[in-house]
């Protein structure tokens, strides 16, 4: 018997605005959901529900109280997800979010394995976010562009790349990924250069910019509300992407 909590069709989907700079608060617990609902309007722009850490899909009444677009993620352990969650369980959780979540994140490495889910997401109102996470290094710009092409071929609405640069030149080189991409790009850095790079990428057109809500999820990550404030300081309060 399935242990996924039902999300009823009466739960209205709130769309993501891909023409804006979005700050996404990462939710790891039910307490985090309560904190998110207490945000002032405009404090952040969207939520990411880390289903691999929540270990279940929240009940429909919890989801219905969310006032922001939300992204469903059941992260692969190879890319920072919970090591205790099996692949069938991750598939089950993602399937339960199709058509309900504003966006659903599937790792590029799993596009082939999760082929049926990917097709269902593409045919649903949920956006498909195809992601890559590298905790050791950063791809070159040509390598990153090849990953972007693979995401486009998979039907992605958004390509997300989170990487770990070892020098400032790598941070700067990947700015090229934000120059007239075929689909919207979410670009973030981790590690020593993470804070500076994330702010630079966000204000240069990265559409989804993730920050922590209760605790940092990775090194080099801003607290979500503070990231929103910093972006507003740099942009003068203008949240539109130059696309």
pLDDT per residue as tens digits for the range 76-116 = 999 999 999 999 999 999 999 999 999 999 999 999 999 89
User: Do residues 92 and 2 touch, judged by C-beta distance below 8 A?
Assistant: yes
Provide the 10 A C-beta neighbour count for residue 56.
Answer: 13
Q: How many domains does the chain have?
A: 1
87 Cβ contact partners less than 8 Å away, ≥ 6 residues apart: 113
| Domain that residue 138 falls in | 22-235
CATH of the domain at 55: 3.20.20.70
pTM: 0.92
Residue pLDDT, tens place only, 107-150: 999 999 998 999 999 999 999 999 999 999 999 999 999 999 99
Q: Average pLDDT, whole number, for the chain?
A: 91
Contacts 24+ apart (CB under 8 A), 166-173: 166/137, 166/138, 168/193, 170/138, 171/138, 171/196, 171/197, 171/200, 173/140, 173/141
The burial class, CB within 10 Å (0-12 / 13-18 / 19+), for 137 is exposed
Structure tokens, 125: 């109102």
Domain assignment present for residue 15? The answer is no
Distance CA 53, CA 174 (A): 30
Question: In angstroms, how far is the first alpha carbon of the chain from the final one?
Answer: 46
Residue 242 lies in a domain: no
> Can you give the length of the chain in residues?
243
Q: Is residue 11 part of a domain?
A: no
Asked, for residue 122, whether it belongs to a domain, the answer is yes
């Amino acid at each position: 018997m399935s242990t996924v909590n039902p999300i009823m069709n009466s739960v209205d989907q709130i769309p993501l605005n891909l023409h804006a700079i979005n700050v996404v608060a990462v939710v790891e617990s039910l307490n985090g959901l309560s904190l998110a609902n207490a945000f002032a309007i405009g404090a952040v722009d969207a939520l990411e529900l880390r289903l691999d850490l929540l270990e279940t899909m929240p009940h429909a009444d919890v989801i219905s109280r969310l006032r922001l677009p939300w992204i469903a993620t059941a992260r692969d352990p190879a890319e920072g997800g919970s090591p205790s969650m099996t692949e069938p369980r991750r598939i089950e959780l993602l399937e339960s979010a199709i058509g309900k979540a504003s966006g659903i994140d599937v790792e590029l490495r799993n596009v082939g394995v999760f082929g049926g889910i990917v097709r269902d997401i593409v045919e649903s109102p949920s956006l498909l976010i195809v992601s890559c996470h590298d905790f050791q290094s950063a791809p070159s710009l040509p390598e990153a562009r090849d990953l972007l092409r693979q995401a486009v071929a998979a039907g992605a609405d958004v390509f997300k790349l989170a990487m770990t640069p070892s020098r400032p030149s790598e941070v700067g080189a990947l700015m090229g990924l934000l120059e007239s991409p075929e689909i919207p790009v979410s670009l973030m850095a981790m590690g020593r250069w993470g804070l500076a790079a994330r702010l630079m990428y966000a204000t240069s057109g990265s559409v989804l910019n993730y920050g922590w809500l209760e605790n940092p999820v990775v090194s080099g990550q801003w607290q979500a509300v503070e990231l929103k404030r910093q972006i507003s300081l740099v942009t003068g309060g203008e949240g539109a992407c130059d696309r």
